[in-house]
Chain A
Amino acid sequence: MESLTRRLYIFTGKGGVGKTTLSKSFVRYLVEHDHEAVYLTFQNQSLGEVHTGTSEKTVNGIREISLDLEECARGYIEKRLNSKIISSWIVKTPFFRALINMVPGFSYLIYLGKILEMGKENPRLIVVLDAPASGHALIMVESTTNFKQIFESGVIFEDTGKMLARLNDPEYTKIHVVSLPSLMSWQEALELRAGLKERTPVNIDITVNNCLFPLLENDLEKLPEGLREKALNEKQLIQENLSEMRCILPHSLSREATAIEADLVGSLSKLI
């Protein structure tokens, strides 16, 4: 087993670019290379939504965890105040709920805190986070800085400081922005990366997913005009920006999500 210091991989990008498939596939890649890895998502953004509690299941040998906000908030407060009763009461108060719900950055702070807590409990665990799309990814990355500024002292201030140090540690965290091979998607990925770069010093790579090129490279004349132009646009985009693309993943001919995940595994070594 190769040694790997990173413990948090964040996959983000516009909705529908294949973040979920790619992050699950990456967990599979890590597990196949003898790492202990888990796929993680955030179940909800506000308190009081229908929620089922943090859930964990294993699908085809891959651990999948869906974190519940209320449970994470309760856990944090319990640890800080040393009381289960008080923490259960606090998360139920209308004041606390309204506060968390009004300010989405707060919920990300709670979730990120939970992820780092999981890392403390099991230092070998690699978390692959199927993160919120673009705008919210920026809110998430910025939340620790903002809240550190808001709380000028106290336990939460120290905790957010520790979180910030971890999240901003290139040896610990890596961010993958996922894009499609269209100009619009690519430009949005570049903008997202630039936005993230302003907020964190960790490495941010762009992966281009679902490419017809080079799959159809030798067949361009055989394609109908529009499709050929689409493939040529992809070709141009890929050739012009090759140095900025960490990984180029081909269009999968499979139909089922799990089959697509399996198709991708072999192409993911560069994402480490």
Chain B
Amino acid sequence: MKILVTVKRVSDPEAKLKIKPDGSWIQTEGVKFVVNPFDEIAVEEALRIKEKQTGEVVVVSIGEKVVTEQMRAALAMGADRGIFVNYTGSYDSYDVANILQKVVEQEKPDIIILGKQAVDDDMGAAGFMLAELLGYPQAAFASKVEISDDKKKAKVTREIDGGLEVKEVELPCVITADLRLNTPRYASLPNIMKAKQKPVKEVTVDALGAAVKPRVTVKKLTEPPKRKGGVKVESVQDLVTKLKNEAKVI
């Protein structure tokens, strides 16, 4: 069983981000970058499937050379090899889906697992678009994945509002990973060392034959307004007066 997993390089979600003076993007100096947490969950799930079924886990990343750092992290977790799509320009979710479509056509994986969204822009669109472009069935926001014994179907549990939905999809399919799908493993030291030797194939968008024409562009980023400090009230009476007169909520 061959599983393709996407890995996106994102700024550390705990980091305090600053916006560039022109508002075009965040300042990246001094910011730590990590594997998108949902992609980490996707890699972990792919590894667990592989460990049960045998097969191969291929990770794919798009971007500048630095994204291979995050790809190595996924290889250190246990993925077998990487495909690095070298692309420096800007792109949107649809471009990502286009590029991934070409990779899928070359690799012909049985399952494609993506994080349900990247934590930097929170778009969460590439997975749906990819399934659509490929004409594959999809199961998004997976919290549990079971592969059938004949390896032809996947039973996917999804967390939906107020309950769980269990879906069955035929392989090949696209799955996006939700938070509670698993807890990603901590890479072992021999695997970290081995990851340095694992093959990473570098390809260009042109070589893949994918068209990148961003339909969505970022116009401006602004910081959220600073929270104003609260006031401590002396008594319940004070609070009621303030709620009545100042907040005008009662």
Bound pair (A, B): no
